[in-house]
Amino acid sequence: MTSQRHMVVLPALCWNIRRPDFYAVTADVTAEGIRLRSSARLAAGEDLTCSIRHIGQLEVRITEVSGQDFVVWVRGGRATLNGLARQFVTLARAQNFSLEPIRGHRRIVPAQKTAVITLESGVTFPGHVLNVSASGIALLVDQALELGETIWVGSRAARVARHFEHGIGAAFLEPLEPDAVHAAMTL
């Protein structure tokens, strides 16, 4: 079973009796601990005091080190971490992190850049294709579309997944075959 990961970026100052103060930044929190990043050379098993902005001073033990990332377990165990989790989740929501889907397919710019967009209401309007992949499409549009709204791009059903200036990114409800994505494709 994997833990739910909450991304939250907060500055931290950490130290112990054997090392000078060093700066770190939180990356995320799970039931397994708090992941931070720092340029300091650290070792698993090391005890630290970390003062994390908006959270407070915590006594922690490093449980894992990977490059510049390190995971700490808060002294007091899971009950203490669970108590802190509400604070971290509230701060994560305030930072408005939305998880960007990981791109699993290459993107192309098709030769045919005009597409007809159809809303569930039947209203149609033109869109300009910026790029397309087997899993989705980026379009410039003049209409305001809601996140999660179902649209049709040509004959392909898609769900609006993100907004950017003057456009949207939409995920196809049924991905295309990767071989079907090429410069001469039409939607």
Residue-wise pLDDT tens digits, 140-187:
999 889 988 999 999 999 999 888 888 899 989 988 888 888 889 988
Is 1 a residue whose pLDDT tops 50? no
> What does the mean pLDDT of the chain come to?
86
Can you give the residue range of the structural domain that contains 21? 6-94
Query: Is 102 a domain residue?
Result: no
Phi, psi of 150, deg, nearest 5: -90, 130
Cα 164 vs. chain centroid, distance in angstroms?
A: 15
The predicted pLDDT at position 102 comes to: 47
Is 60 a residue whose pLDDT tops 70? yes
The verdict on 127 and 81 lying in the same domain is: no
Query: Is 1 a domain residue?
Result: no
The verdict on 85 and 120 lying in the same domain is: no
Measured in residues, the chain has a length of 187
Separation CA 133–CA 142 (nearest Å): 22
Is 128 a residue whose pLDDT tops 50? yes
SS3 147: coil
The predicted pLDDT at position 63 comes to: 95
Residue-wise pLDDT tens digits, 12-27:
999 999 988 999 999 8
Is 7 a residue whose pLDDT tops 90? no
SS3 17: coil
Phi, psi of 34, deg, nearest 5: -110, 130
The predicted pLDDT at position 38 comes to: 93
Q: Map 106-172 to HEC letters.
A: CCECCCCCEEEEEECCCCEEEEEEEEECCCEEEEECCCCCCCCCEEEECCEEEEEEEEECCEEEEEE
The verdict on 90 and 122 lying in the same domain is: no
Separation CA 144–CA 159 (nearest Å): 14
Separation CA 114–CA 92 (nearest Å): 38
As for how many domains the chain has, the answer is 2
CATH number of the domain residue 55 falls in: 2.40.10.220
Residue-wise pLDDT tens digits, 68-114:
999 999 987 666 666 777 787 777 777 765 544 445 567 888 999 99
